[in-house]
């Protein structure tokens, strides 16, 4: 569903709530869906136990698309087809279908570096349940719809910048990489899952490795940064000072934003 003129109309926008809140093995708090209903959005709820009804992500996404014009998901949704089902992945799949969706989770502080970061480029809005209110739900869905139509807010615009790997380590089942991000806060490292980097670069990903990547460097907080389009590169000839300077704008709808590049 494409939202024309970036307008979300509560009277005609059915919302699918995906939270697994009623299941015995639920991992995340139930979405306060009544807040959306108070705002005037009619619900299009799916079966409570997703894993008993759907076997694949594609089947689940198709069902949502057939019933709703928007969605609100928690993040830790249990399993689907024997694999962990994450709300961030589901929101990203809906993003590809031009269906605006919000991620509402109590695990944002824990999962922001890994299972949320993995799909963050297609997850415009992440909220804690206490931030989800009837006064704001339409505004958040509007923000998602605008980005889907190619008009992201400034803090979501990607730039091609340099990244420097400071550390690689295993944390449980997930290997993570700590990066310095060019043209962002060079005093703060950003953690992301190794799986976000193309597998062909994994053997070369170690302390001292340099990459180019597309990153939304105008984000204020590190949990809002996303990464995509990784390219392995060599150490800059200036010994690293270029990481503070190099920046190439890559979003066609934001031509008015100023950028600087090195020769």
pLDDT at 218: 95
Determine the angle formed by the axes of helices 57-67 and 87-96, rounding to 10 degrees.
60
Q: What 3-state class would DSSP assign to 83?
A: strand
4-151 maps to CATH 1.10.10.10: no
pLDDT at 259: 35
Q: What is the DSSP string of 102-135?
A: EEE-TTHHHHTTTTTGGGGGG---EE-GGG--TT
Give CA–CA dist 258/240, Å, rounded.
22
On whether the CB atoms of residues 210 and 234 are closer than 8 A, the answer is: yes
| DSSP single-letter state for residue 204 | G
pLDDT at 180: 95
Please, where in the chain does CATH 2.40.50 lie?
A: 155-249
pLDDT at 246: 76
Q: Which CATH number fits domain 155-249: 1.10.3430, 1.20.1070, 2.40.50, 3.30.160?
A: 2.40.50
Task: Report, as ranges of residue numbers, the positions in the chain whose pLDDT lies below 70.
Answer: 1-7, 20-27, 29, 48, 51, 171-172, 239-240, 244, 252-263
Please, where in the chain does CATH 3.40.50.2300 lie?
A: 4-151
pLDDT at 240: 65
CB neighbour burial string for 67-83, b if at least 16 within 10 angstroms, e if fewer = ebbbbbbbbbbbebeee
Give CA–CA dist 1/12, Å, rounded.
12
pLDDT at 69: 94
Closest of 214, 229, 152 to residue 184, by C-alpha: 214
Closest of 72, 95, 110, 202 to residue 156, by C-alpha: 95
């Amino acid at each position: 569903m494409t939202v024309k003129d970036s307008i979300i109309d509560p009277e005609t926008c059915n919302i699918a709530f995906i939270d697994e809140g009623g299941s015995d093995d639920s991992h995340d708090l139930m979405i306060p869906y009544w807040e959306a209903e108070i705002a005037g959005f009619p619900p299009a709820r799916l079966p409570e136990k997703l894993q008993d009804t759907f076997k694949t992500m594609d089947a689940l996404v198709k069902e949502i698309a057939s019933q709703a014009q928007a969605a609100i998901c928690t993040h830790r949704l249990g399993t689907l087809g024997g694999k962990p089902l994450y709300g961030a992945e589901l929101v990203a799949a809906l993003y590809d279908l031009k269906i605006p969706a919000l991620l509402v989770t109590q695990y944002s502080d824990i999962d922001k570096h890994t299972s949320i970061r993995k799909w963050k480029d297609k997850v415009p809005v992440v909220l804690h349940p206490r931030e989800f209110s009837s006064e704001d739900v339409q505004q958040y869905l509007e923000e998602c719809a605008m980005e889907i139509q190619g008009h992201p807010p400034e803090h979501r615009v990607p730039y091609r910048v340099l990244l420097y790997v400071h550390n690689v380590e295993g944390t449980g089942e997930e290997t993570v990489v700590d990066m310095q991000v060019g043209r962002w806060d060079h005093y703060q490292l950003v953690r992301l899952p190794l799986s976000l980097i193309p597998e062909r670069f994994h053997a070369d990903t170690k302390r001292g490795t340099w990459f180019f990547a597309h990153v939304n460097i105008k984000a204020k907080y590190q949990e809002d940064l996303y990464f995509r389009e990784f390219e392995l590169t060599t150490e800059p000839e200036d010994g690293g000072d270029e990481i503070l300077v190099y920046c190439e704008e890559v979003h066609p709808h934001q031509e008015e934003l100023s950028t600087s590049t090195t020769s």
